[in-house]
Amino acid sequence: MITIKYSISGIISYLLYLFLLIFSIEILSLEKLSSSIITYFIALIFNFIVLKLWVYKSNGKYKDQFIKYNIIACFGYFINSIGFFVLATIFEIHYLITQCILFLIVSILNFILNTIWTFKVCNKQK
């Protein structure tokens, strides 16, 4: 059940990001890069809260878990960036295929790391 909830929270967070990005650029006429950065962080915080309260129902300290969550997010970003360079640039795999592969890899890694480290879920809770 955690896997399904985790996936749902990721989809909702991404849709929130897209909605806020479009709204900030098209309606508020904000600059594209600034909008992307701001809305990304809003979606990141939203996703953390949903994971903590709904997916994992964690009682851990917000600050400690938020730091761990962001470390994992940065790790995923690093893996995605390096992987994109290697697959798309060196091996010349189409960038969309590359991103789909990396999305799966990073999503699985993030799920595993958030489950065992950020929110410390025991096997019996799964």
- Summarize pLDDT for 90-110 with one digit per residue, the tens: 999 999 999 999 999 999 999
Q: Which tokens hold the place of 68?
A: 């761990």
> What pLDDT shows up at residue 125?
47
pLDDT digits (tens, 9 = 90+) for 57-75: 999 999 999 999 999 999 9
For residue 125, what is the DSSP state?
A: G
Mean pLDDT in residue range 10-35: 94
Cα distance between residue 112 and residue 122, in whole Å: 12
Residue 123 has pLDDT above 90, yes or no: no
Cα distance between residue 28 and residue 16, in whole Å: 16
Mean pLDDT in residue range 68-87: 95
